[in-house]
A = this chain, B = another copy of it.
Amino acid sequence: MMAPSQRRAGDTCGTLVLIGGGCSADGEALGTFVERSGGHEGGRIVGFTTASSDPMGSAIAWRNDLKIAGATNVEIPIVDRRDAAQDKRIAELVAEAQGIFLGGGDQVHLVATIGGSRVGNAIRDAYRRGAIVCGTSAGAAALTETILAGGEVDEQGVNTDMHIGPGLGLLGFRAMIDTHFAERRRLHRLFVAIASNPDLMGLGIDEDTALVVEGHLAEVVGKGGVTFVDGRGVRFDNANEVTTGSRLTLSYLRVGLLGPGYQFNLRERELDCLVKSKQTREPVASVKGEGA
Cβ A254 vs Cβ B252 within 8 A? yes
> Which chain B residues border A224 with CB–CB below 8 Å?
246
Assuming A182-B188, A187-B187, A236-B271, is B247 touching A230 (CB within 8 A)? no
Assuming A252-B254, A256-B253, is B225 touching A246 (CB within 8 A)? yes
- Shortest CB–CB separation between residue A207 and chain B, in angstroms? 10
> Which chain B residues border A238 with CB–CB below 8 Å?
259, 262
A153 within 8 A of B: no
CA distance in complex: A121, B253 (Å): 39
CA distance in complex: A136, B230 (Å): 32
Cβ A258 vs Cβ B249 within 8 A? yes
Chain A interface residue count, Cβ-Cβ cutoff 8 angstroms? 36
A255 within 8 A of B: yes
* Contact bitstring A238-280, B, C-beta under 8 A = 1, else 0: 1000100111111111111111111000000011011000000
Cβ B259 vs Cβ A249 within 8 A? yes
Cβ B262 vs Cβ A257 within 8 A? no
> Which chain B residues border A230 with CB–CB below 8 Å?
252
> Which chain B residues border A225 with CB–CB below 8 Å?
188, 245-249
Residue of B nearest to A209 (CB): B246
- Shortest CB–CB separation between residue A292 and chain B, in angstroms? 34
Q: How many copies does the complex hold?
A: 2
Cβ B261 vs Cβ A257 within 8 A? no
Assuming A225-B247, A254-B254, A274-B251, is B236 touching A259 (CB within 8 A)? no
- Shortest CB–CB separation between residue A279 and chain B, in angstroms? 14
Cβ B185 vs Cβ A257 within 8 A? no
A235 within 8 A of B: yes
- Shortest CB–CB separation between residue A258 and chain B, in angstroms? 6
A127 within 8 A of B: no
> Which chain B residues border A250 with CB–CB below 8 Å?
256-257
A48 within 8 A of B: no
Cβ A242 vs Cβ B259 within 8 A? yes
10 interchain residue pairs of minimum CB distance: A252-B254, A251-B256, A247-B259, A249-B259, A255-B255, A252-B256, A249-B262, A251-B271, A224-B246, A225-B246
